[in-house]
Amino acid sequence: MNPITNPESTTNWYLFLSCLLFSIGVMGVLFRRNALIILMCIELMLNAVNLLLVSYSAYAGNTDGQTFVFFIMVVAAAEVAVGLALMVSIYRNIGSIDIQSLNKLKW
Amino acid sequence: MDNTMNLLNLITPSMMIPIFPLLGFLILSFLGKRLGAFSGWVASMAILGSFLCSLNIFLGLDGQQLNYTIFKWISAGDLQIEFGFLIDHLSIIMLLVVTGIGFLIHLYSMGYMHHDEGFTRFFSYLNLFIFFMLLLVMGNNYAVMFIGWEGVGLCSYLLIGFWFKNQAYNNAAKKAFIMNRIGDLGFLIGIFALVFHFGTLDFMDIQNQLVSFESNAPVLIFITLMLFIGATGKSAQLPLYTWLPDAMAGPTPVSALIHAATMVTAGIYMICRSNLLFALAPFTLHIILIVGIATSLFAAIIGIKQNDIKKILAYSTVSQLGLMFAAIGLGAFESSMLHVMTHAFFKALLFLGAGSVIHAMGGEQDIRKMGGLNKSIKLTFVTFLIATLAISGIFPFAGFFSKDEILAKAFEHNLLVWALLSISSMITAFYMFRLLFLVFYGEFRGTEEQYKHLHESPISMTLPLMVLAVLSAFGGFLGLPAVLSSTHQLSEFLSPVFMASKSLKVEAHALTHEQEWLLMGIATLAALVSIYYAFHLYMKKKVIPENEEALSGLSKWVANKFYVDEFYHKVIVNPMLILSDLLLVLIDKLVIDLLVNLTALIVDSTGRIYRLIQTGSTGFYLIAMVLSMVIVMFIQIIL
Amino acid sequence: MEPSILFYLLSAMSVISALFVVFSRSPIYSVLSLIVCFFTIAGHYIMLNAQFLAIIHIIVYAGAIMVLMLFTVMLLNLNEDVSVHKFNITKLIAVITGGLLFLVILASVKSSTLLTYQAPPNLNIGNAQDIGMKLFTDYLLPFEISSVLFVSAMISAVLLAKKEVK
């Protein structure tokens, strides 16, 4: 039950899972029009990367990967705070969060 | 050992000679507006510095040659052209003349151009001109000489068209430059031929290689003919002379400097510098003789009927240059150089005097409206009289000795040549005294206010006149003929330069002393006869030249300069204009415009298409971003 | 070796909840499914011997960030704003692009070689002591700078969301 006994194949499965989660996140970013949900899908992408990093850290027997995940979490938290503030500001100015309404830079 | 040490000391002064005018030009171009009236002094002091350095070298040269390289300029395979200076006795004479007379003309210009708004620009151009002329004279190979050659052409254009607001003056400047260019083409072909046959352009190297050539070799004839074409353009010989009378559109100091003393003598200097080359091609020398005689007579005849004071002097310059070229054609290089020197003195004096007259008349240049000025502007009159006596060849003024020497050499050569040149000298004396009598004697024919305006020029203008008068009076003693003294100063001075060519010259029978006295007597008598005829016509009978409409027949042809300008215009200029119109339609509109418009069209349409990517919708941008990433990674995998 | 049942279970739950995040109609449902996803990923972390990280993950993400998002959703009253799911070309292209990206990433990672580590598996990693050692010795500078990052994020959030004083 311990995935550490055979690290290589375990890492492959995690690689697959991570790529799947990442592409689902990308799909969400492209698919949805609600800016808040896009933000959440970006969080999903970040988490996929985190997962991969932790799995490699376990494979290498090294805590460096986990430390890196730590800092990614820091950045994600800060980014969400600022992003949400931006969202609120946009809502106040335009009245909706729909990204289709942000099309003033048309040719 | 002592001599070489002496020479090394001279290198620095010799490098300073062209640097002073160049510095003057740079300072005046950038700071001229702020210096204002002081710029005249800056320019004059620069030329004075060059003159003093030339004097220093003159005193220290002592028969040797200063030949050194400053830097290697072109190095292409076997061809090495360096940028260097050669100063020997020939160059030092030219240097002294150029810087000395240049300095006097700078002083004169400070007074003449005092009220002009382009005062600083004038002096910067003058300094630039002197710089290029010095390069021309000091270069040690044809390439450096050509730099100076082109440079003086450029400065001539700038200075002739100095009052650029007048379109006619601009046209005159263009004409000068373009005619010079036609000659320069010949010069360039000559330079190319020199490189091809000699592999070098250095004067000394070519002279050393010439020992292996025989006389009248076709190569040498070709090269010398091409070089002579260059000289024709620059020194205004037939048929490239029409720019010089038109160049009188420039300010009078410009005419004095460029078209009397320096630029027009560049052709003669060039031929004297290549004297061995020309001595080995007697065929070219014959051609030069014919062209020189023809020019001399032609211009003298035209000068009889001219009515503008400066145009008369211009035609007399062309005529005297013809005389100098005839001297070269006779193989008498030193005589030609002597005449260059004396001509520089009295022609500069004549032009500056004419400027003084024009200044006194408030801008009037037509001699029919002048007269009786000897009472009002005495100093100008006296100096002008001295110059006129010099140019007519009256003993003991400068022109007498140089002309007499050329006539003597002509007599040794061929009686017909002597006769033609003597006729030309007679006509010269005639129209110069015509000028003198009409301007300075008789009654005043101008308007009332011009009469009130008459005044002598300021000291800045009259001082150079006086200095030049002294030189015109006594400058001839540098070239005393054999009968009067045993040493011909200039000939001895220049002998190391012309030694090789002299040995080649077939010595015609030298003149005996009696023959020389006879020739001098005949020349003086002829001059006095023409002066008396002019006196008779314009003082006794008080003939005033008529207006152009009243002429007919031969007089009309002469007064209209034999219609040479109109001929050139019809035969050369008009076909050019038609050709350029044709090319305009064919090539300019069809080909070039098409290409340019096509390029613009391509850019425009691509832009239009790419513009559509900017839809403005964020969703689209996101998709595009991810899609591009996919494509890049895809390519990465494939490759 | 065969992955364990737990792995399959957790992976399935995370994938399904991720799909819910993307394809659900209401934003509240998306937020809630994302929280479920985070929990499953925390489970993965525990399986990978990263206990400290798992707890931190739950506290920070599920506890703080998602709560913040819920606040915003409530604040902006987005629950009523149901985006019309009419089927247009953009959505199709989006799905296709996502799928392509997945394939390409997988292919490019698979085509690279994996570094092999010969060291025996270290069971001491992942606890608080180890991460603490790493943070305060090797990665001290990023640690300190992240505090600056937080300060700037706080300041910018306050500034951006401030109401204009009329």
Can you tell me the distance from the alpha carbon of B140 to that of B136, in angstroms, rounded to the nearest whole number? 9
Question: Do C60 and A82 lie within an 8 Å CB cutoff?
Answer: no
Closest-CA distance of chain A to residue B627, Å: 11
Can you tell me the distance from the alpha carbon of B346 to that of B468, in angstroms, rounded to the nearest whole number? 7
Residue type, B59: L
The residue of B613, B617, B621, B629 whose CB has the most chain A CBs within 10 angstroms, and thus the best one to mutate to test that interface, is B617
Q: Is A18 on the interface with C (CB under 8 A)?
A: no
Residues with Cβ < 8 Å from B558, sequence gap 6 or more? B301, B302, B304, B305
Of the candidates B77, B84, B82, the one whose C-alpha atom is nearest the C-alpha of residue B18 is: B84
- Please state, in angstroms and as integers, the Cα–Cα distance from residue C86 to each residue in A36, A62, A76, B5, B278, following that order: 19, 49, 32, 102, 99
In a domain, C10, yes or no: yes
CA angle centred on C66, ends C65 and C67, rounded to 5°? 90
Q: What single string gives the DSSP state of each residue in A11-49?
A: HHHHHHHHHHHHHHHHHHHHH--BHHHHHHHHHHHHHHH
- Residues pairing with B86 in the sheet: B67
Can you tell me the distance from the alpha carbon of C77 to that of C37, in angstroms, rounded to the nearest whole number? 24
Q: Is C100 on the interface with B (CB under 8 A)?
A: yes
- Summarised one tens digit per residue, pLDDT across range B542-557 is 666 666 556 667 777 7
Q: What percent of chain B lies above the pLDDT cut of 90?
A: 17
In a domain, C37, yes or no: yes
- Summarised one tens digit per residue, pLDDT across range B221-257 is 899 999 999 998 888 888 888 888 888 888 889 988 8
**Closest residue of chain C to B627, computed from CA coordinates:** C97
Residues with Cβ < 8 Å from A80, sequence gap 6 or more? A39, A43, C65, C68, C69
Residues B498 and B605 in one domain: no
Specify the long-range contacts of residues A87-90, CB closer than 8 Å, at least 24 apart. A87/A35, A87/A36, A87/A39, A87/C72, A87/C76, A88/C72, A88/C75, A88/C76, A88/C160, A88/C161, A89/C160, A89/C161, A90/A35
* Owner of token pair 């503008």: B308
Closest-CA distance of chain A to residue B583, Å: 43
Closest-CA distance of chain B to residue C30, Å: 19
- How many CA atoms lie less than 13 Å away from B105 in the CB half-sphere? 33
Size of interface A-C (CB pairs under 8 A): 233
Question: Do C90 and B629 lie within an 8 Å CB cutoff?
Answer: no
Q: What is the pLDDT of residue C48?
A: 83
State the pLDDT confidence band at B189, using cuts at 50, 70 and 90. very high
Asked whether the beta carbons of A39 and B632 are under 8 A apart, the reply is no
Residues C78 and C151 in one domain: no
Q: What is the pLDDT of residue B633?
A: 86
- Summarised one tens digit per residue, pLDDT across range B405-425 is 888 888 888 888 889 999 999
- Domain range A3-96, its CATH number among 3.40.50.1820, 1.10.287.3510, 1.10.760.10, 2.60.40.420: 1.10.287.3510
Closest-CA distance of chain A to residue C149, Å: 7
* Owner of token pair 């091409």: B226
Classified as helix, coil or strand, B68 is strand
Residues B589 and B610 in one domain: yes
Compute the Cα dihedral for B458, B254, B173, B336 and give only its sign.
Answer: positive
Of the candidates B382, B106, B379, B391, the one whose C-alpha atom is nearest the C-alpha of residue B251 is: B106
Compute the Cα dihedral for B585, B587, B591, B596 and give only its sign.
Answer: negative
Residues with Cβ < 8 Å from B53, sequence gap 6 or more? B13, B14, B16, B17, B20
Boundary residue ending a domain (B515, B530, B559) = B559
Question: Do C41 and A28 lie within an 8 Å CB cutoff?
Answer: no
Q: What is the pLDDT of residue C109?
A: 76
Q: b/e string for B19-58 if b means 16 or more Cβ within 10 A?
A: ebbbbbbebbeeebeebeeebbebbbebbbbbbbbbbbbb
In a domain, B230, yes or no: no
Can you tell me the distance from the alpha carbon of A45 to that of A18, in angstroms, rounded to the nearest whole number? 9
Q: Is A19 on the interface with B (CB under 8 A)?
A: no
Reply yes or no on whether the pLDDT at A12 is more than 80: no
Question: Do A103 and B626 lie within an 8 Å CB cutoff?
Answer: no
Residues B537 and B597 in one domain: no
Q: Is B619 on the interface with A (CB under 8 A)?
A: yes
Q: Chains meeting C at 3+ CB pairs closer than 8 A?
A: A, B
In a domain, B107, yes or no: no
Closest-CA distance of chain B to residue A58, Å: 27
Which structural domain, as residue segments, surrounds residue B618?
A: 571-638
If one counts the domains in chain B, the total is 2
Closest-CA distance of chain C to residue B606, Å: 25
In a domain, B492, yes or no: yes
Residues B546 and B578 in one domain: no
Residue type, B210: L
Closest-CA distance of chain C to residue B627, Å: 6
- Please state, in angstroms and as integers, the Cα–Cα distance from residue C6 to each residue in A18, C11, C35, C46, C58, following that order: 17, 8, 19, 11, 19
Residues with Cβ < 8 Å from B582, sequence gap 6 or more? none
pTM above 0.90, yes or no: no
> Chain A 19-78, CB below 8 Å of chain C: which residues?
19-28, 30-34, 36-37, 39-41, 43-44, 47, 50-51, 54-55, 57-64, 66-67, 69-71, 73-78
Can you tell me the distance from the alpha carbon of B469 to that of B387, in angstroms, rounded to the nearest whole number? 7
Can you tell me the distance from the alpha carbon of C126 to that of B208, in angstroms, rounded to the nearest whole number? 95
Question: Do B617 and A100 lie within an 8 Å CB cutoff?
Answer: yes
If one counts the domains in chain C, the total is 2
Can you tell me the distance from the alpha carbon of C108 to that of A13, in angstroms, rounded to the nearest whole number? 16
* Least CB–CB distance from C94: residue in B623, B629, B634: B623
Average pLDDT over residues B310-337: 89
Average pLDDT over residues C12-18: 94
Average pLDDT over residues C48-55: 88
Q: Is A102 on the interface with B (CB under 8 A)?
A: yes
CA B619 distance to own-chain centroid = 77
In a domain, B32, yes or no: no
> Residue B206: which H helix or E strand, with range?
helix B203-209
> Chain B 604-633, CB below 8 Å of chain C: which residues?
619-620, 623, 626-627, 629-630, 633
**Closest residue of chain A to B612, computed from CA coordinates:** A107
Residues B394 and B447 in one domain: yes
In a domain, C116, yes or no: no
In a domain, B367, yes or no: yes
Q: Is C101 on the interface with B (CB under 8 A)?
A: yes
In a domain, C160, yes or no: yes
Which structural domain, as residue segments, surrounds residue C1?
A: 1-82
Q: Is C22 on the interface with B (CB under 8 A)?
A: no
State the pLDDT confidence band at C152, using cuts at 50, 70 and 90. very high
Question: Do B614 and A105 lie within an 8 Å CB cutoff?
Answer: yes
Q: What is the pLDDT of residue B374?
A: 80
In a domain, C94, yes or no: no
Average pLDDT over residues B361-381: 81
Size of interface B-C (CB pairs under 8 A): 26
- Summarised one tens digit per residue, pLDDT across range B567-625 is 888 888 888 899 988 888 888 888 888 899 999 999 999 999 988 888 888 888 888 88
Q: What is the pLDDT of residue B533?
A: 84
List chain B residues with CB under 8 Å of A103: 615-618
- Summarised one tens digit per residue, pLDDT across range B510-524 is 667 777 788 888 888
Q: Give the ipTM.
A: 0.87
* Least CB–CB distance from A30: residue in B612, B617, B622: B622
Q: Is A99 on the interface with C (CB under 8 A)?
A: no
Q: Is A27 on the interface with B (CB under 8 A)?
A: no
- How many CA atoms lie less than 13 Å away from B308 in the CB half-sphere? 16
Q: What is the pLDDT of residue B51?
A: 92
Can you tell me the distance from the alpha carbon of C96 to that of B445, in angstroms, rounded to the nearest whole number? 104
Average pLDDT, chain B: 84
Reading phi first (left if > 0) and then psi (alpha if -120 to 50, else beta), residue B504 is in alpha
- Comparison of pLDDT for C64 and B452, the residue scoring more: C64
Residues B485 and B407 in one domain: yes
Closest-CA distance of chain A to residue C78, Å: 9
In a domain, C9, yes or no: yes
Size of interface A-B (CB pairs under 8 A): 30
In a domain, C88, yes or no: no
* Least CB–CB distance from B622: residue in A29, A104, A106: A29
Q: What is the pLDDT of residue A1?
A: 37
Q: Chains meeting B at 3+ CB pairs closer than 8 A?
A: A, C
Asked whether the beta carbons of B263 and B177 are under 8 A apart, the reply is no
Reply yes or no on whether the pLDDT at A3 is more than 50: no
CA angle centred on B592, ends B591 and B597, rounded to 5°? 105
Both tokens of residue B628? 């591009």
Closest-CA distance of chain C to residue B607, Å: 25
Reply yes or no on whether the pLDDT at C147 is more than 60: yes
Average pLDDT over residues C133-142: 89
Can you tell me the distance from the alpha carbon of B49 to that of B630, in angstroms, rounded to the nearest whole number? 77
In a domain, B339, yes or no: no
* Least CB–CB distance from A41: residue in C21, C72, C119: C21
Q: Is B608 on the interface with A (CB under 8 A)?
A: no
Boundary residue ending a domain (B534, B559, B584) = B559
Of the candidates B283, B286, B270, the one whose C-alpha atom is nearest the C-alpha of residue B326 is: B286
Residues B392 and B539 in one domain: yes
In a domain, B141, yes or no: no
CA angle centred on B21, ends B16 and B26, rounded to 5°? 115
Domain layout of chain A by residue ranges:
3-96
Residues B521 and B489 in one domain: yes
List chain A residues with CB under 8 Å of B611: 107
Boundary residue ending a domain (C82, C104, C135) = C82
Of the candidates C78, B489, C53, B173, the one whose C-alpha atom is nearest the C-alpha of residue A58 is: C53
Q: What is the pLDDT of residue C35?
A: 95
- How many CA atoms lie less than 13 Å away from C25 in the CB half-sphere? 6
- The single-letter DSSP state of residue B305 is T
Residue type, A19: C
State the pLDDT confidence band at B265, using cuts at 50, 70 and 90. confident
Can you tell me the distance from the alpha carbon of B258 to that of B103, in angstroms, rounded to the nearest whole number? 13
Can you tell me the distance from the alpha carbon of B260 to that of B252, in angstroms, rounded to the nearest whole number? 11
Compute the Cα dihedral for B2, B7, B11, B12 and give only its sign.
Answer: positive
Q: What single string gives the DSSP state of each residue in B556-615?
A: HHHHTGGGHHHHHIIIIIHHHHHHHHHHIIIIIIIIIHHHHHHHHHHHHHHHHHHHTT--
Both tokens of residue C35? 């929280």
- Please state, in angstroms and as integers, the Cα–Cα distance from residue B297 to each residue in A1, B263, B300, B432, B532, following that order: 123, 22, 5, 15, 20
Q: b/e string for A67-79 if b means 16 or more Cβ within 10 A?
A: bbbbbebbebbbb
